[in-house]
Structure 1
Amino acid sequence: MDFTSGQGEQRYEAFVRAAASSVVGLDFDGTLSPIVDDPEQAHIHPDARDVLVALAAEVRAVAVITGRPARQALDLGGLEEVGAAVGEAGSELYLFGQYGNERWSSSRRRIVSPRPPKGLATFERELPRLLRTHGAGEAFIEDKGLAVAVHTRRLPDPERSFEALLPALRGLAAAHDLVVEPGRHVVEIRSPGMHKGVAVRTLVEELDAGGFLFAGDDLGDVEAFEALGELAEGGLPTLRVCSASHEESALVPMSDIVVKGPEGVLQLLAQLTSDARDLRS
Protein backbone atom coordinates (compact mmCIF):
# COMPACT_ATOMS: atom_id res chain seq x y z
CA MET A 1 0.00 0.00 0.00
CA ASP A 2 1.12 3.55 -0.69
CA PHE A 3 0.37 6.39 1.70
CA THR A 4 -0.37 9.61 -0.16
CA SER A 5 1.26 11.68 2.60
CA GLY A 6 2.65 11.54 6.11
CA GLN A 7 -0.81 12.49 7.28
CA GLY A 8 -2.19 9.35 5.60
CA GLU A 9 0.17 7.19 7.65
CA GLN A 10 -0.91 8.97 10.83
CA ARG A 11 -4.56 8.40 9.94
CA TYR A 12 -3.89 4.70 9.43
CA GLU A 13 -2.30 4.43 12.89
CA ALA A 14 -5.21 6.32 14.47
CA PHE A 15 -7.71 4.06 12.73
CA VAL A 16 -5.94 0.93 13.97
CA ARG A 17 -6.22 2.24 17.53
CA ALA A 18 -9.97 2.84 17.00
CA ALA A 19 -10.57 -0.40 15.07
CA ALA A 20 -12.64 -2.17 17.72
CA SER A 21 -15.38 0.47 17.53
CA SER A 22 -15.02 1.22 13.81
CA VAL A 23 -16.81 0.31 10.59
CA VAL A 24 -15.09 -0.79 7.40
CA GLY A 25 -17.08 0.13 4.27
CA LEU A 26 -16.28 -1.32 0.86
CA ASP A 27 -17.44 -0.72 -2.68
CA PHE A 28 -18.07 -3.88 -4.72
CA ASP A 29 -16.99 -3.49 -8.38
CA GLY A 30 -13.31 -2.64 -8.69
CA THR A 31 -12.82 -2.95 -4.94
CA LEU A 32 -13.97 -6.43 -3.93
CA SER A 33 -14.39 -7.77 -7.46
CA PRO A 34 -12.44 -7.06 -10.66
CA ILE A 35 -13.96 -4.90 -13.41
CA VAL A 36 -15.19 -7.14 -16.24
CA ASP A 37 -17.05 -6.57 -19.52
CA ASP A 38 -20.14 -8.44 -18.33
CA PRO A 39 -21.37 -6.99 -15.00
CA GLU A 40 -23.20 -10.24 -14.27
CA GLN A 41 -19.84 -12.05 -14.11
CA ALA A 42 -18.15 -9.75 -11.59
CA HIS A 43 -17.63 -12.31 -8.85
CA ILE A 44 -15.97 -11.38 -5.59
CA HIS A 45 -12.21 -11.99 -5.29
CA PRO A 46 -11.61 -15.58 -4.11
CA ASP A 47 -9.68 -14.40 -1.04
CA ALA A 48 -12.34 -11.91 0.04
CA ARG A 49 -14.40 -14.24 2.25
CA ASP A 50 -11.54 -15.24 4.52
CA VAL A 51 -10.17 -11.70 4.71
CA LEU A 52 -13.56 -10.18 5.59
CA VAL A 53 -14.35 -12.79 8.23
CA ALA A 54 -10.98 -12.28 9.92
CA LEU A 55 -11.42 -8.50 9.74
CA ALA A 56 -14.89 -8.70 11.28
CA ALA A 57 -13.40 -10.08 14.50
CA GLU A 58 -11.41 -6.85 14.96
CA VAL A 59 -14.00 -4.18 14.05
CA ARG A 60 -17.55 -3.28 14.99
CA ALA A 61 -19.00 -4.00 11.54
CA VAL A 62 -18.19 -4.51 7.87
CA ALA A 63 -20.38 -2.93 5.18
CA VAL A 64 -20.55 -3.34 1.42
CA ILE A 65 -21.89 -0.13 -0.15
CA THR A 66 -22.53 -0.56 -3.85
CA GLY A 67 -24.45 0.76 -6.81
CA ARG A 68 -25.48 -2.79 -7.64
CA PRO A 69 -28.89 -4.15 -6.67
CA ALA A 70 -28.63 -5.82 -3.28
CA ARG A 71 -29.72 -9.25 -4.50
CA GLN A 72 -27.14 -9.19 -7.28
CA ALA A 73 -24.34 -8.24 -4.89
CA LEU A 74 -25.40 -10.96 -2.44
CA ASP A 75 -25.26 -13.59 -5.17
CA LEU A 76 -22.05 -12.47 -6.91
CA GLY A 77 -20.28 -11.95 -3.61
CA GLY A 78 -21.60 -15.00 -1.78
CA LEU A 79 -22.35 -12.43 0.91
CA GLU A 80 -25.03 -14.44 2.68
CA GLU A 81 -22.42 -17.09 3.44
CA VAL A 82 -19.88 -14.40 4.36
CA GLY A 83 -22.48 -12.75 6.61
CA ALA A 84 -23.15 -16.01 8.44
CA ALA A 85 -19.43 -16.43 9.13
CA VAL A 86 -19.12 -12.78 10.18
CA GLY A 87 -21.98 -13.30 12.63
CA GLU A 88 -20.16 -16.25 14.14
CA ALA A 89 -17.18 -13.93 14.63
CA GLY A 90 -19.44 -11.72 16.76
CA SER A 91 -19.77 -8.91 14.25
CA GLU A 92 -22.24 -7.81 11.58
CA LEU A 93 -22.15 -7.57 7.80
CA TYR A 94 -24.26 -4.83 6.20
CA LEU A 95 -25.11 -4.42 2.54
CA PHE A 96 -26.32 -1.14 1.08
CA GLY A 97 -27.46 -1.75 -2.51
CA GLN A 98 -28.20 0.83 -5.19
CA TYR A 99 -26.21 3.52 -3.37
CA GLY A 100 -28.10 2.94 -0.13
CA ASN A 101 -31.67 2.67 -1.39
CA GLU A 102 -31.68 -1.04 -0.50
CA ARG A 103 -30.53 -2.51 2.82
CA TRP A 104 -29.65 -5.99 4.06
CA SER A 105 -27.79 -7.25 7.12
CA SER A 106 -26.47 -10.61 8.23
CA SER A 107 -28.71 -10.57 11.29
CA ARG A 108 -31.98 -9.64 9.58
CA ARG A 109 -31.24 -11.37 6.22
CA ARG A 110 -34.00 -9.54 4.37
CA ILE A 111 -33.68 -6.89 1.66
CA VAL A 112 -35.57 -3.69 2.43
CA SER A 113 -36.25 -1.69 -0.72
CA PRO A 114 -38.38 1.32 -1.77
CA ARG A 115 -40.50 1.59 -4.91
CA PRO A 116 -38.90 2.61 -8.23
CA PRO A 117 -38.68 6.39 -8.67
CA LYS A 118 -41.28 8.24 -10.68
CA GLY A 119 -40.11 8.98 -14.18
CA LEU A 120 -37.83 5.96 -14.48
CA ALA A 121 -40.21 3.91 -16.63
CA THR A 122 -40.68 6.80 -19.08
CA PHE A 123 -36.93 7.41 -19.16
CA GLU A 124 -36.34 3.77 -20.08
CA ARG A 125 -38.87 3.95 -22.92
CA GLU A 126 -37.11 6.98 -24.38
CA LEU A 127 -33.57 5.67 -23.83
CA PRO A 128 -33.17 3.42 -26.94
CA ARG A 129 -33.92 6.33 -29.27
CA LEU A 130 -31.34 8.53 -27.51
CA LEU A 131 -28.72 5.80 -27.85
CA ARG A 132 -29.41 5.33 -31.56
CA THR A 133 -29.22 9.09 -32.12
CA HIS A 134 -25.71 9.12 -30.66
CA GLY A 135 -24.50 6.04 -32.50
CA ALA A 136 -24.59 3.87 -29.40
CA GLY A 137 -27.57 1.67 -30.13
CA GLU A 138 -25.57 -1.41 -29.12
CA ALA A 139 -24.73 -0.11 -25.65
CA PHE A 140 -25.67 -2.56 -22.92
CA ILE A 141 -28.64 -1.39 -20.84
CA GLU A 142 -28.80 -2.82 -17.33
CA ASP A 143 -32.19 -2.60 -15.59
CA LYS A 144 -31.57 -2.43 -11.84
CA GLY A 145 -35.17 -2.06 -10.77
CA LEU A 146 -34.61 1.22 -8.94
CA ALA A 147 -32.23 2.55 -11.59
CA VAL A 148 -30.93 1.92 -15.09
CA ALA A 149 -27.28 1.78 -16.16
CA VAL A 150 -25.90 2.35 -19.66
CA HIS A 151 -22.61 0.53 -20.26
CA THR A 152 -20.28 1.59 -23.08
CA ARG A 153 -17.52 -0.93 -22.29
CA ARG A 154 -18.57 -3.32 -25.08
CA LEU A 155 -18.71 -0.63 -27.79
CA PRO A 156 -15.85 -0.20 -30.31
CA ASP A 157 -14.66 3.03 -28.66
CA PRO A 158 -15.93 2.89 -25.03
CA GLU A 159 -14.39 6.18 -23.89
CA ARG A 160 -15.56 8.23 -26.85
CA SER A 161 -19.07 6.79 -26.62
CA PHE A 162 -19.15 7.51 -22.87
CA GLU A 163 -18.14 11.15 -23.39
CA ALA A 164 -20.73 11.60 -26.15
CA LEU A 165 -23.58 10.03 -24.20
CA LEU A 166 -23.00 11.61 -20.80
CA PRO A 167 -24.44 15.12 -21.54
CA ALA A 168 -27.38 13.66 -23.46
CA LEU A 169 -28.19 11.27 -20.61
CA ARG A 170 -27.95 14.13 -18.12
CA GLY A 171 -30.50 16.09 -20.11
CA LEU A 172 -32.96 13.22 -20.43
CA ALA A 173 -32.57 12.32 -16.76
CA ALA A 174 -33.20 15.90 -15.65
CA ALA A 175 -36.39 15.98 -17.71
CA HIS A 176 -37.71 13.13 -15.55
CA ASP A 177 -36.40 14.38 -12.18
CA LEU A 178 -33.65 11.78 -12.10
CA VAL A 179 -29.92 12.12 -11.48
CA VAL A 180 -26.90 10.72 -13.30
CA GLU A 181 -24.01 8.84 -11.67
CA PRO A 182 -21.05 8.34 -14.04
CA GLY A 183 -18.55 5.54 -13.48
CA ARG A 184 -16.01 3.52 -15.44
CA HIS A 185 -17.57 3.35 -18.92
CA VAL A 186 -21.01 3.30 -17.33
CA VAL A 187 -23.65 5.93 -16.63
CA GLU A 188 -26.31 5.17 -14.04
CA ILE A 189 -29.62 7.01 -13.86
CA ARG A 190 -31.53 6.93 -10.57
CA SER A 191 -33.57 8.95 -8.10
CA PRO A 192 -31.98 11.95 -6.32
CA GLY A 193 -31.32 12.23 -2.59
CA MET A 194 -29.40 9.01 -1.93
CA HIS A 195 -25.70 8.34 -2.42
CA LYS A 196 -22.86 6.51 -0.71
CA GLY A 197 -22.08 9.47 1.54
CA VAL A 198 -25.56 9.17 3.05
CA ALA A 199 -24.97 5.45 3.62
CA VAL A 200 -21.68 6.20 5.40
CA ARG A 201 -23.30 8.75 7.70
CA THR A 202 -26.20 6.37 8.39
CA LEU A 203 -23.81 3.68 9.58
CA VAL A 204 -21.83 6.11 11.72
CA GLU A 205 -25.00 7.31 13.44
CA GLU A 206 -26.77 3.97 13.84
CA LEU A 207 -23.69 2.12 15.12
CA ASP A 208 -22.17 5.04 17.02
CA ALA A 209 -19.00 4.25 15.11
CA GLY A 210 -15.67 5.25 16.63
CA GLY A 211 -14.00 5.31 13.21
CA PHE A 212 -14.70 4.62 9.54
CA LEU A 213 -12.64 3.26 6.64
CA PHE A 214 -14.05 3.33 3.13
CA ALA A 215 -12.45 1.78 0.05
CA GLY A 216 -13.68 2.60 -3.45
CA ASP A 217 -12.47 2.94 -6.99
CA ASP A 218 -14.43 5.45 -9.09
CA LEU A 219 -16.69 8.50 -9.30
CA GLY A 220 -19.59 6.79 -7.54
CA ASP A 221 -17.48 6.74 -4.38
CA VAL A 222 -16.69 10.46 -4.28
CA GLU A 223 -19.60 11.28 -1.93
CA ALA A 224 -18.41 8.61 0.52
CA PHE A 225 -14.92 10.14 0.52
CA GLU A 226 -16.42 13.61 1.00
CA ALA A 227 -18.50 12.39 3.94
CA LEU A 228 -15.39 10.92 5.56
CA GLY A 229 -13.57 14.20 5.06
CA GLU A 230 -16.30 16.04 6.94
CA LEU A 231 -16.42 13.40 9.68
CA ALA A 232 -12.63 13.63 10.08
CA GLU A 233 -12.92 17.37 10.60
CA GLY A 234 -15.26 16.55 13.48
CA GLY A 235 -12.61 14.34 15.08
CA LEU A 236 -13.64 10.87 13.87
CA PRO A 237 -10.71 8.62 12.86
CA THR A 238 -11.21 7.96 9.16
CA LEU A 239 -9.29 6.33 6.34
CA ARG A 240 -9.97 6.78 2.61
CA VAL A 241 -8.61 4.00 0.43
CA CYS A 242 -8.45 4.18 -3.37
CA SER A 243 -8.48 0.93 -5.32
CA ALA A 244 -6.61 2.39 -8.25
CA SER A 245 -6.63 1.34 -11.89
CA HIS A 246 -5.42 2.68 -15.23
CA GLU A 247 -9.03 3.57 -16.15
CA GLU A 248 -10.00 5.86 -13.27
CA SER A 249 -7.96 8.09 -10.97
CA ALA A 250 -10.48 10.64 -9.65
CA LEU A 251 -10.20 9.33 -6.08
CA VAL A 252 -6.41 9.42 -5.84
CA PRO A 253 -6.12 13.09 -4.75
CA MET A 254 -8.78 12.50 -2.07
CA SER A 255 -7.18 9.33 -0.68
CA ASP A 256 -5.02 8.53 2.34
CA ILE A 257 -3.89 5.20 0.88
CA VAL A 258 -3.71 3.98 -2.72
CA VAL A 259 -3.63 0.25 -3.52
CA LYS A 260 -3.73 -1.76 -6.74
CA GLY A 261 -7.22 -3.12 -7.34
CA PRO A 262 -9.14 -5.71 -5.30
CA GLU A 263 -6.01 -7.69 -4.47
CA GLY A 264 -4.41 -4.58 -3.01
CA VAL A 265 -7.56 -3.80 -1.01
CA LEU A 266 -7.58 -7.27 0.52
CA GLN A 267 -3.88 -7.09 1.35
CA LEU A 268 -4.52 -3.79 3.14
CA LEU A 269 -7.46 -5.25 5.09
CA ALA A 270 -5.37 -8.26 6.08
CA GLN A 271 -2.62 -5.93 7.33
CA LEU A 272 -5.18 -3.86 9.22
CA THR A 273 -6.55 -7.01 10.84
CA SER A 274 -3.08 -8.09 11.91
CA ASP A 275 -2.15 -4.66 13.26
CA ALA A 276 -5.43 -4.33 15.20
CA ARG A 277 -5.02 -7.83 16.67
CA ASP A 278 -1.45 -7.09 17.75
CA LEU A 279 -2.51 -3.86 19.42
CA ARG A 280 -5.37 -5.60 21.23
CA SER A 281 -3.10 -8.34 22.53
Structure 2
Amino acid sequence: MRAFAADADGPPAARLVALDFDGTLSPLVDDPLAARMAPSARAAVDRLAAALVGTTTRLALVSGRNLADLAERSEPPVGTYLVGSHGAETGHVTEDGLDAVPLDLTPEQADHLAALRTGMAEAVAGREGAWVQEKPSAAVLHTRLASAADTQAAEHLADAVAARLGLHAMHGKDVVEVAVVETSKGEAVDRLRDVVGQDAGCPDARTRVLYAGDDTTDETAFAVLGPGDLGVKVGDGDTLAAQRVPDADGLAAVLDLLADLLERQEA
Protein backbone atom coordinates (compact mmCIF):
# COMPACT_ATOMS: atom_id res chain seq x y z
CA MET A 1 0.00 0.00 0.00
CA ARG A 2 2.77 2.45 0.89
CA ALA A 3 4.45 1.78 -2.45
CA PHE A 4 1.19 2.49 -4.29
CA ALA A 5 0.63 5.73 -2.38
CA ALA A 6 4.23 6.95 -2.61
CA ASP A 7 5.24 9.48 -5.25
CA ALA A 8 6.95 7.77 -8.18
CA ASP A 9 10.27 8.76 -9.71
CA GLY A 10 10.11 10.57 -13.04
CA PRO A 11 7.06 12.40 -14.42
CA PRO A 12 4.18 12.83 -11.97
CA ALA A 13 1.82 9.84 -12.11
CA ALA A 14 -1.89 9.77 -11.45
CA ARG A 15 -3.49 7.06 -9.34
CA LEU A 16 -6.79 5.25 -9.80
CA VAL A 17 -8.64 3.44 -7.01
CA ALA A 18 -11.11 1.17 -8.83
CA LEU A 19 -13.53 -0.92 -6.79
CA ASP A 20 -16.10 -3.57 -7.61
CA PHE A 21 -19.44 -3.18 -5.81
CA ASP A 22 -21.32 -6.43 -5.11
CA GLY A 23 -19.37 -8.74 -2.82
CA THR A 24 -16.65 -6.11 -2.47
CA LEU A 25 -18.13 -2.92 -1.01
CA SER A 26 -21.55 -4.49 -0.51
CA PRO A 27 -22.25 -7.94 0.96
CA LEU A 28 -23.91 -10.33 -1.49
CA VAL A 29 -27.68 -10.40 -0.91
CA ASP A 30 -30.56 -12.46 -2.27
CA ASP A 31 -32.30 -9.38 -3.72
CA PRO A 32 -29.91 -7.31 -5.88
CA LEU A 33 -32.12 -4.25 -5.39
CA ALA A 34 -31.47 -4.42 -1.64
CA ALA A 35 -27.69 -4.16 -1.98
CA ARG A 36 -25.98 -1.26 -0.24
CA MET A 37 -22.41 -0.60 0.86
CA ALA A 38 -21.47 -2.10 4.20
CA PRO A 39 -21.39 0.70 6.81
CA SER A 40 -17.61 0.44 7.18
CA ALA A 41 -17.15 0.56 3.41
CA ARG A 42 -19.52 3.52 3.09
CA ALA A 43 -17.53 5.48 5.64
CA ALA A 44 -14.19 4.51 4.09
CA VAL A 45 -15.25 5.41 0.54
CA ASP A 46 -16.59 8.80 1.64
CA ARG A 47 -13.44 9.51 3.64
CA LEU A 48 -11.20 8.48 0.75
CA ALA A 49 -13.16 10.62 -1.70
CA ALA A 50 -12.66 13.63 0.57
CA ALA A 51 -8.93 12.89 0.83
CA LEU A 52 -8.64 12.79 -2.98
CA VAL A 53 -9.90 16.34 -3.53
CA GLY A 54 -7.12 18.41 -5.05
CA THR A 55 -4.86 15.40 -5.70
CA THR A 56 -4.02 13.38 -8.81
CA THR A 57 -5.80 10.29 -7.46
CA ARG A 58 -9.27 9.38 -8.73
CA LEU A 59 -11.97 6.98 -7.53
CA ALA A 60 -13.98 4.59 -9.73
CA LEU A 61 -16.60 1.90 -9.22
CA VAL A 62 -16.44 -0.93 -11.76
CA SER A 63 -19.42 -3.27 -11.75
CA GLY A 64 -21.43 -5.77 -13.71
CA ARG A 65 -24.57 -3.84 -12.79
CA ASN A 66 -26.05 -1.53 -15.36
CA LEU A 67 -24.87 2.04 -14.91
CA ALA A 68 -28.07 3.58 -13.54
CA ASP A 69 -28.54 0.74 -11.06
CA LEU A 70 -24.93 1.00 -9.90
CA ALA A 71 -25.32 4.73 -9.30
CA GLU A 72 -28.56 4.23 -7.36
CA ARG A 73 -27.29 1.40 -5.15
CA SER A 74 -23.80 2.78 -4.45
CA GLU A 75 -24.62 6.48 -4.02
CA PRO A 76 -21.08 7.39 -5.13
CA PRO A 77 -19.35 10.62 -4.10
CA VAL A 78 -19.11 13.47 -6.58
CA GLY A 79 -16.11 12.99 -8.85
CA THR A 80 -16.39 9.20 -8.99
CA TYR A 81 -16.02 7.45 -12.34
CA LEU A 82 -18.61 4.72 -12.89
CA VAL A 83 -18.29 1.68 -15.14
CA GLY A 84 -21.36 -0.51 -15.57
CA SER A 85 -22.18 -3.73 -17.43
CA HIS A 86 -18.57 -4.94 -17.13
CA GLY A 87 -17.31 -2.01 -19.18
CA ALA A 88 -20.08 -1.48 -21.73
CA GLU A 89 -21.41 1.60 -19.92
CA THR A 90 -19.47 4.52 -18.48
CA GLY A 91 -20.25 7.73 -16.64
CA HIS A 92 -19.01 10.32 -14.18
CA VAL A 93 -20.70 11.63 -11.04
CA THR A 94 -21.01 15.41 -11.04
CA GLU A 95 -22.65 17.93 -8.74
CA ASP A 96 -25.72 17.68 -10.99
CA GLY A 97 -25.88 13.87 -10.89
CA LEU A 98 -24.73 11.08 -13.19
CA ASP A 99 -23.24 12.18 -16.51
CA ALA A 100 -23.57 8.98 -18.56
CA VAL A 101 -22.04 8.24 -21.95
CA PRO A 102 -24.86 7.06 -24.25
CA LEU A 103 -24.74 3.38 -25.20
CA ASP A 104 -25.57 2.88 -28.88
CA LEU A 105 -26.03 -0.67 -30.17
CA THR A 106 -25.57 -1.60 -33.81
CA PRO A 107 -28.58 -3.15 -35.59
CA GLU A 108 -26.90 -6.56 -35.33
CA GLN A 109 -26.27 -6.11 -31.61
CA ALA A 110 -29.90 -5.05 -31.08
CA ASP A 111 -31.12 -8.17 -32.91
CA HIS A 112 -28.81 -10.36 -30.84
CA LEU A 113 -30.03 -8.74 -27.63
CA ALA A 114 -33.67 -9.46 -28.49
CA ALA A 115 -32.87 -13.09 -29.31
CA LEU A 116 -30.75 -13.37 -26.18
CA ARG A 117 -33.53 -12.13 -23.92
CA THR A 118 -35.98 -14.60 -25.46
CA GLY A 119 -33.57 -17.51 -25.09
CA MET A 120 -32.68 -16.66 -21.50
CA ALA A 121 -36.36 -16.37 -20.56
CA GLU A 122 -36.86 -19.88 -21.92
CA ALA A 123 -33.89 -21.09 -19.86
CA VAL A 124 -35.58 -20.17 -16.57
CA ALA A 125 -39.14 -21.14 -17.49
CA GLY A 126 -40.54 -23.44 -14.79
CA ARG A 127 -37.42 -23.20 -12.62
CA GLU A 128 -38.26 -21.69 -9.25
CA GLY A 129 -35.73 -19.21 -7.92
CA ALA A 130 -34.04 -18.70 -11.30
CA TRP A 131 -34.69 -15.40 -13.05
CA VAL A 132 -33.32 -13.18 -15.80
CA GLN A 133 -32.17 -9.60 -15.41
CA GLU A 134 -32.26 -7.48 -18.56
CA LYS A 135 -29.50 -4.90 -19.05
CA PRO A 136 -29.03 -2.35 -21.84
CA SER A 137 -26.54 -4.65 -23.59
CA ALA A 138 -26.88 -8.00 -21.84
CA ALA A 139 -29.07 -10.56 -20.13
CA VAL A 140 -28.11 -12.12 -16.80
CA LEU A 141 -29.24 -15.45 -15.41
CA HIS A 142 -29.54 -15.36 -11.60
CA THR A 143 -29.61 -18.69 -9.74
CA ARG A 144 -28.81 -17.72 -6.14
CA LEU A 145 -32.26 -18.89 -4.96
CA ALA A 146 -32.63 -21.87 -7.33
CA SER A 147 -32.03 -25.54 -6.56
CA ALA A 148 -28.80 -27.19 -7.67
CA ALA A 149 -30.60 -29.16 -10.37
CA ASP A 150 -32.43 -26.12 -11.75
CA THR A 151 -29.21 -24.10 -11.62
CA GLN A 152 -27.32 -26.67 -13.65
CA ALA A 153 -30.09 -26.95 -16.24
CA ALA A 154 -30.57 -23.19 -16.58
CA GLU A 155 -26.84 -22.55 -16.89
CA HIS A 156 -26.57 -25.23 -19.59
CA LEU A 157 -29.36 -23.58 -21.59
CA ALA A 158 -27.86 -20.11 -21.09
CA ASP A 159 -24.53 -21.35 -22.42
CA ALA A 160 -26.33 -22.86 -25.41
CA VAL A 161 -28.11 -19.58 -26.17
CA ALA A 162 -24.79 -17.72 -26.05
CA ALA A 163 -23.09 -20.26 -28.31
CA ARG A 164 -25.94 -20.13 -30.83
CA LEU A 165 -25.58 -16.36 -31.09
CA GLY A 166 -21.78 -16.43 -31.14
CA LEU A 167 -21.56 -14.64 -27.79
CA HIS A 168 -19.47 -15.27 -24.68
CA ALA A 169 -21.11 -16.44 -21.44
CA MET A 170 -19.45 -15.01 -18.31
CA HIS A 171 -19.91 -17.19 -15.25
CA GLY A 172 -19.77 -15.52 -11.83
CA LYS A 173 -21.15 -16.18 -8.36
CA ASP A 174 -24.67 -17.53 -8.98
CA VAL A 175 -24.89 -15.65 -12.29
CA VAL A 176 -24.30 -16.22 -15.98
CA GLU A 177 -24.12 -13.03 -18.03
CA VAL A 178 -24.22 -12.87 -21.80
CA ALA A 179 -23.54 -9.50 -23.43
CA VAL A 180 -23.82 -8.30 -27.00
CA VAL A 181 -21.03 -5.75 -26.44
CA GLU A 182 -17.72 -7.55 -26.04
CA THR A 183 -15.73 -6.03 -23.20
CA SER A 184 -14.42 -6.84 -19.72
CA LYS A 185 -13.52 -5.18 -16.46
CA GLY A 186 -9.88 -5.48 -17.49
CA GLU A 187 -10.47 -3.50 -20.66
CA ALA A 188 -12.47 -0.97 -18.64
CA VAL A 189 -9.60 -0.50 -16.18
CA ASP A 190 -7.14 0.02 -19.03
CA ARG A 191 -9.40 2.69 -20.53
CA LEU A 192 -9.85 4.35 -17.14
CA ARG A 193 -6.09 4.36 -16.67
CA ASP A 194 -5.74 6.58 -19.74
CA VAL A 195 -8.75 8.77 -18.91
CA VAL A 196 -7.55 9.41 -15.37
CA GLY A 197 -4.03 10.23 -16.53
CA GLN A 198 -5.41 12.94 -18.79
CA ASP A 199 -7.94 14.21 -16.24
CA ALA A 200 -5.33 14.45 -13.49
CA GLY A 201 -2.88 16.28 -15.73
CA CYS A 202 -0.38 13.41 -15.79
CA PRO A 203 -0.49 12.16 -19.41
CA ASP A 204 3.22 11.37 -19.60
CA ALA A 205 3.31 8.72 -16.87
CA ARG A 206 1.47 5.43 -16.50
CA THR A 207 -1.44 5.78 -14.07
CA ARG A 208 -1.04 3.46 -11.09
CA VAL A 209 -4.11 1.40 -10.24
CA LEU A 210 -5.45 -0.18 -7.07
CA TYR A 211 -8.22 -2.60 -7.99
CA ALA A 212 -10.39 -4.58 -5.56
CA GLY A 213 -12.94 -7.24 -6.43
CA ASP A 214 -14.39 -10.55 -5.30
CA ASP A 215 -15.60 -12.47 -8.36
CA THR A 216 -14.20 -14.34 -11.34
CA THR A 217 -15.11 -11.40 -13.59
CA ASP A 218 -12.72 -9.23 -11.56
CA GLU A 219 -9.80 -11.44 -12.55
CA THR A 220 -9.67 -9.71 -15.94
CA ALA A 221 -8.93 -6.48 -14.06
CA PHE A 222 -6.27 -8.11 -11.91
CA ALA A 223 -4.73 -9.48 -15.11
CA VAL A 224 -4.00 -6.00 -16.52
CA LEU A 225 -2.24 -4.76 -13.38
CA GLY A 226 1.51 -4.34 -13.55
CA PRO A 227 4.45 -2.78 -11.70
CA GLY A 228 3.31 -0.10 -9.28
CA ASP A 229 -0.28 -1.38 -9.26
CA LEU A 230 -2.04 -3.25 -6.46
CA GLY A 231 -4.72 -5.94 -6.68
CA VAL A 232 -6.88 -6.82 -3.67
CA LYS A 233 -9.03 -9.94 -3.73
CA VAL A 234 -12.06 -9.80 -1.43
CA GLY A 235 -13.03 -13.21 -0.06
CA ASP A 236 -12.05 -16.74 -0.99
CA GLY A 237 -11.06 -18.24 -4.34
CA ASP A 238 -8.09 -18.44 -6.66
CA THR A 239 -6.86 -15.06 -7.81
CA LEU A 240 -4.18 -13.11 -9.64
CA ALA A 241 -4.35 -10.39 -6.98
CA ALA A 242 -1.31 -9.92 -4.77
CA GLN A 243 -3.30 -9.13 -1.63
CA ARG A 244 -6.45 -10.51 -0.03
CA VAL A 245 -8.98 -9.35 2.56
CA PRO A 246 -11.88 -11.41 3.92
CA ASP A 247 -14.80 -9.07 3.30
CA ALA A 248 -16.06 -5.51 2.89
CA ASP A 249 -14.87 -4.62 6.38
CA GLY A 250 -11.37 -5.76 5.43
CA LEU A 251 -11.44 -3.66 2.28
CA ALA A 252 -12.65 -0.68 4.32
CA ALA A 253 -9.51 -0.99 6.43
CA VAL A 254 -7.40 -0.92 3.24
CA LEU A 255 -9.17 2.22 2.01
CA ASP A 256 -8.76 3.87 5.41
CA LEU A 257 -5.03 3.14 5.30
CA LEU A 258 -4.79 4.69 1.85
CA ALA A 259 -6.68 7.76 3.08
CA ASP A 260 -4.26 8.00 6.02
CA LEU A 261 -1.26 7.95 3.69
CA LEU A 262 -2.72 10.50 1.29
CA GLU A 263 -3.72 12.85 4.11
CA ARG A 264 -0.19 12.73 5.50
CA GLN A 265 1.25 13.59 2.09
CA GLU A 266 -1.02 16.63 1.84
CA ALA A 267 -0.34 17.79 5.42
Instruction: Name 2:200's counterpart in structure 1.
Output: none
Report how many residues are paired. Answer: 245
> Letter of the aligned partner of 2:137 in structure 1?
L
When normalised by structure 2's length, the TM-score is: 0.83
Instruction: Name 1:190's counterpart in structure 2.
Output: 179
Distance 1:163 1:238, change over 3 A: farther
1:178–1:192: 8 Å Cα contact kept in structure 2? Answer: no
Instruction: Name 2:255's counterpart in structure 1.
Output: 269
Distance 2:122 2:90 in 1: 33
Higher normalized helix content (fraction of residues): 1
Deviation at 1:250, TM superposition (A): 3.2
Q: What are structure 1's unaligned runs of at least 5 residues?
A: 1-11, 84-91
Distance 1:203 1:99, change over 3 A: same
> What percent identity do the matched residue pairs reach?
29
When normalised by structure 1's length, the TM-score is: 0.79
Distance 1:127 1:188 in 2: 10
Deviation at 1:137, TM superposition (A): 5.5
SS at match of 1:36: coil
Instruction: Name 1:128's counterpart in structure 2.
Output: 121
Distance 1:275 1:112 in 2: 33
SS at match of 1:181: strand
Deviation at 1:18, TM superposition (A): 4.1
SS at match of 1:104: strand
* Counterpart among 196, 221, 225 of residue 222 in structure 2: 225
How is 1:139-178 mapped onto 2 (pairs within 5 angstroms)? 139-157=130-148, 161-178=150-167
Distance 2:14 2:139 in 1: 36
Instruction: Name 2:103's counterpart in structure 1.
Output: 114
Instruction: Name 1:3's counterpart in structure 2.
Output: none
Distance 1:98 1:18, change over 3 A: farther
Distance 1:127 1:106 in 2: 32
SS at match of 1:130: helix
**2:230 aligned with 1:243:** no
Instruction: Name 1:99's counterpart in structure 2.
Output: 86
SS at match of 1:110: strand
Distance 1:126 1:201 in 2: 32
Q: What are structure 2's unaligned runs of at least 5 residues?
A: 198-205
Q: Tell me how large the CA RMSD over aligned residues is.
A: 2.2
- C-alpha offsets along residues 187-211 of structure 1, whole Å, 9 cap, x if unaligned? 1111242111111111111222531
Distance 2:152 2:238 in 1: 16
Deviation at 1:226, TM superposition (A): 0.6
SS at match of 1:47: helix
Distance 1:40 1:30, change over 3 A: same
- C-alpha offsets along residues 32-75 of structure 1, whole Å, 9 cap, x if unaligned? 11100111111122333432232232451000000101111111
